[in-house]
Structure 1
Amino acid sequence: MASSKATPSRLRAAATSSQKIFEKLPHEILDTILSYLDASALFSMSHTNKLFYQLASNKNLRVTWELTITDMSGRVTTLELSWSHFSEISLTLCWCGGDSLPNYGEIFSLQLHGVRRIAFSWPDLKKLRQLLPSKRSLVANLNKQHLTKCAQVIGQDQFVLLKLLQPGIIIGLWRDGTSVAFIMFTLHFYKLVERSTRGSHDCSYVEPIIQPPFDDIDTEYGLHGYKLHIVLHNTECKLMSESFSQLFCHRAHISNGWIQLTAISRTNSSQHVQLSGKPNLHWRCEALEGTVENCCIMSLTLLDEFGNQFSCVTTPISMELEKAAVSYDYDGEHYLIQHEDSNIQVKMQLVKMTAKKHFVVSLIVYVSVLFVNKHFSRDY
């Protein structure tokens, strides 16, 4: 008798068979099935395959994102999305306004809203959007301080210079340094639908706090059992997607207010990961496009020992050349990628062996002890 064990080939065949069954169903039936799903489920389903993407699009979440720019004189301009790119766990949004974008020094504030509209059949879409009510949810709000004091240059090419305003947000300036070519937001998928639909015009969505159970027996509680998923990508393709489980830090190794979680060790070559392409950030704006070298987008998700969301970040990052780096295993240029905010730090080392081969030889995530204490009700 043939074995009924679920081998990988059998599972793939079953998945393919299930998709074919859906393809044979009339779209009216599929549309009825999808009507029972909420916005979050539809959004997730749309990234499964082409069929589900088309079905979810036809169902239409009617969620888009608009950028509102206020200049120093108080003039308010709202721009509709120019283009977007979905990655594995993140979304990139870009606005290329041409003459409608003020000069960089004239921008007073930026506001990103998720917009959910009621849609009807109408020959003139622009008039339709003016007439129909919409639900606006504040996703991000940047003031003048973010635009000036907090901005840092992370790369440039022959046309544009990239300024990172805060994690996730880039302004592309033409090389004259004043004219804005484009504004780009990168958003993590975590609670993206809720953030884009459940806030108000002036207030962002506030996620309910779920407190993990307290443990007074485990002396290392809150220091182990973490799972990390990290993706490096650009606006066209994925460069790396890796998961690491059972990350930990002994209590005695807490240093300077941070716990250290080592995902890839420099001394363990079996853990090193090769990128599938060059870490370059592609951009396009109206009639021009280009590529900024040694830049890409990092999307990171950290789960606690219960599998709950602990921290996440999606942001453009740059690779800085390490001139003093020495390696006996790799002969090439060494680069450092760093990200830091109040709760989490990421340090990644890469080696560029040839034009097409880049290896991640070290990946360490540092988590604030204050953040751990607050999450787990501890006092480290």
Structure 2
Amino acid sequence: MPPEVLLKILSWLDAGSLFCVGLVNKRFQELASNNALWYQLYTCQQAKNKRPTLVGGVTDGMGMTHIEEKPKGYWRRLLFKDLTGHSEKWRKKLKAINYYTGLPNQSEQVLRTLPVAWEIKVTEATGRESSFEQTGIYYADTSVTVSWSAVRWPRIDRIASLQLHGVMRVPLTCPRTYRPGWRSLLSTVALNKCAGQVYASDRLVELLFLDQGVTVGVWQEPREIAFIMVNLHYHRLVERSLLGSSTAQYHPDEDKAPSDDVDPEYGLHGYTLHIEMHNTVKKIASARFDQLFCRKDQIVNGYVQLSVISRGSRWKHVPVSGSISLPWMTEALRGRLEGCCMMALTVLDEIQTPFWCFSGPVSMTESNQTDVSYDYRGKSYFIQRWDSEGKVEIELQWVEEEKQYFMVNLLIFLPVSKVNKHFGRDY
């Protein structure tokens, strides 16, 4: 059949059908990439959006020669960007800040509306690559937990790296597997360099924290992947999920606090902490603390120490709702890891901009201290978590009478080098 006849037939297809036709073979790929076909679909989309001024601006003086002179795929890319709302109007929605958390108030709404999905690309030692889209998601106040459960994973000892991408697919009427979209690299974890840290286990699975919020559930026997969870903090999550490329992460300009030559302890006070503990089903605890500070003589071992909660300040103690546990599921089984959950920290500086943001799994270990507490009767537990940006130490007290935990001690440690760089100081 002559190509002119085929092009006439293809001109009756919608965008999704035309895109799928291009996957048949090389000949149909060439025909389905015709600029005139996609230009026609693009102008129709503009008319549906009731933007006659824009349509006029596109079509004025645009003869068939000019349309075809555009690079191959030009009009298709414009149409796809228009269909996905890639105009970045979401930036306006992120300007309103939630006073309680210090983060954009509509992060969850923007992520749901666009919509943004997350995908893991597995690269095996042989070079083979496989991509898997999320199967579960839980939105908390300051972070989102994404899970992959109904997936046939390769053996963990055969995996060289895991890559996490934010994905925004074009809403076309074609199978989701083949639907085009934009990918933005969020993180890369090399398994040959990262053995992982065991956080919790039960008789079926063992929980390994690898890096950058990536948590892997491994079957006890055989040593195969059961599920993967990733906890993502909302701080710049929309930008990181959209504005990077498939091979490079999005790196915004670094925020620096305005200089202050009057205050001799500038950068050591005025901090705010928002802490949240949750699992994949519900919130466990949430609290906000203002006016945190550290004196110069309290800087020890290269860290600025912020005392948030102490045993003596009982009015600050935070109750923990329910049990501290992390439900998990696969295609066939469900379980619950006790003494483990997700935690999201947001430390704001004195002008209320995020200074340290962390999200990831944490686990409790029973304390062996012998100190007698006259305020509480029950066992004490510790939670410790650290990365290159800071450390957190939490003490939990089990109160037998009320059958719940209380957060009775909380310390935040910020690297002096980070404080100096941010505030322009030399502590």
Asked whether the 8 Å contact 1:62–1:118 carries over to 2, the reply is no
Task: Kindly report which structure 2 residues correspond to 1:69-108, keeping only aligned pairs within 5 A, or say none.
Answer: 69-98=122-151, 100-108=152-160
Match of 1:286 among 327, 331, 334: 331
Distance (Å, rounded) in 2 between the aligned partners of 1:283 and 1:43: 32
Q: Which amino acid aligns with 1:88?
A: D
Q: Which residue of 1 aligns with 2:424?
A: 377
Q: Structure 1 stretch 261-270 or stretch 300-309: which is displaced more?
A: 261-270
Deviations 1:314-359 (A, max 9, x none): 0100001111242322211110000111220000000122394101
Gaps of 5+ in 1: 1-27, 29-33
Q: Which residue of 2 aligns with 1:14?
A: none
CA-based RMSD of the aligned residues comes to 2.6
Q: Judging changes above 3 Å, is the alpha-carbon distance between structure 1 residues 230 and 261 closer, same or farther for their aligned structure 2 residues?
A: same
Q: Which residue of 1 aligns with 2:164?
A: 112
Q: Judging changes above 3 Å, is the alpha-carbon distance between structure 1 residues 356 and 147 closer, same or farther for their aligned structure 2 residues?
A: farther
Distance (Å, rounded) in 1 between the aligned partners of 2:180 and 2:154: 28
Asked whether the 8 Å contact 1:67–1:113 carries over to 2, the reply is yes
Match of 1:351 among 393, 397, 401: 397
Q: Judging changes above 3 Å, is the alpha-carbon distance between structure 1 residues 125 and 54 closer, same or farther for their aligned structure 2 residues?
A: farther
Deviations 1:214-250 (A, max 9, x none): 1111110000000000001111111111000000000
Distance (Å, rounded) in 1 between the aligned partners of 2:416 and 2:203: 43
Distance (Å, rounded) in 2 between the aligned partners of 1:125 and 1:242: 43
The question of 1:338 aligning with 2:408 is answered no
Asked whether the 8 Å contact 1:228–1:243 carries over to 2, the reply is yes
Asked whether the 8 Å contact 2:90–2:110 carries over to 1, the reply is no
Gaps of 5+ in 2: 1-48, 50-84, 99-105
Q: Judging changes above 3 Å, is the alpha-carbon distance between structure 1 residues 271 and 177 closer, same or farther for their aligned structure 2 residues?
A: farther
Q: Which residue of 2 aligns with 1:250?
A: 295
Deviations 1:259-280 (A, max 9, x none): 1111111222221111111111
Residue 210 of structure 1 deviates from its aligned partner by: 2.3
Match of 2:255 among 192, 195, 210: 210
Q: Which residue of 1 aligns with 2:415?
A: 368
Match of 1:125 among 175, 187, 190: 175
Question: SS of 1:270's equivalent?
Answer: helix
Match of 2:205 among 151, 160, 163: 160
Q: Which amino acid aligns with 1:377?
A: G
TM-score (norm 1): 0.82
Residue 146 of structure 1 deviates from its aligned partner by: 4.7
Q: Which residue of 2 aligns with 1:312?
A: 357
TM-score (norm 2): 0.73
Distance (Å, rounded) in 2 between the aligned partners of 1:133 and 1:36: 17
Distance (Å, rounded) in 2 between the aligned partners of 1:107 and 1:192: 26
Residue 134 of structure 1 deviates from its aligned partner by: 1.7
Deviating above 4 A after TM superposition, structure 1's stretches of 4 or more consecutive aligned residues are 34-37, 40-45, 52-57
Question: SS of 1:239's equivalent?
Answer: strand
- Percent of residue pairs bearing the same amino acid type: 38
Distance (Å, rounded) in 2 between the aligned partners of 1:53 and 1:247: 26
Q: Judging changes above 3 Å, is the alpha-carbon distance between structure 1 residues 218 and 277 closer, same or farther for their aligned structure 2 residues?
A: same
Asked whether the 8 Å contact 2:146–2:231 carries over to 1, the reply is yes
Residue 41 of structure 1 deviates from its aligned partner by: 5.6
Question: SS of 1:313's equivalent?
Answer: strand
Q: Which amino acid aligns with 1:117?
A: R
Q: Judging changes above 3 Å, is the alpha-carbon distance between structure 1 residues 366 and 325 closer, same or farther for their aligned structure 2 residues?
A: farther
Asked whether the 8 Å contact 2:108–2:139 carries over to 1, the reply is no
Task: Kindly report which structure 2 residues correspond to 1:1-16, keeping only aligned pairs within 5 A, or say none.
Answer: none
Distance (Å, rounded) in 2 between the aligned partners of 1:256 and 1:54: 38
Match of 2:269 among 224, 243, 251: 224
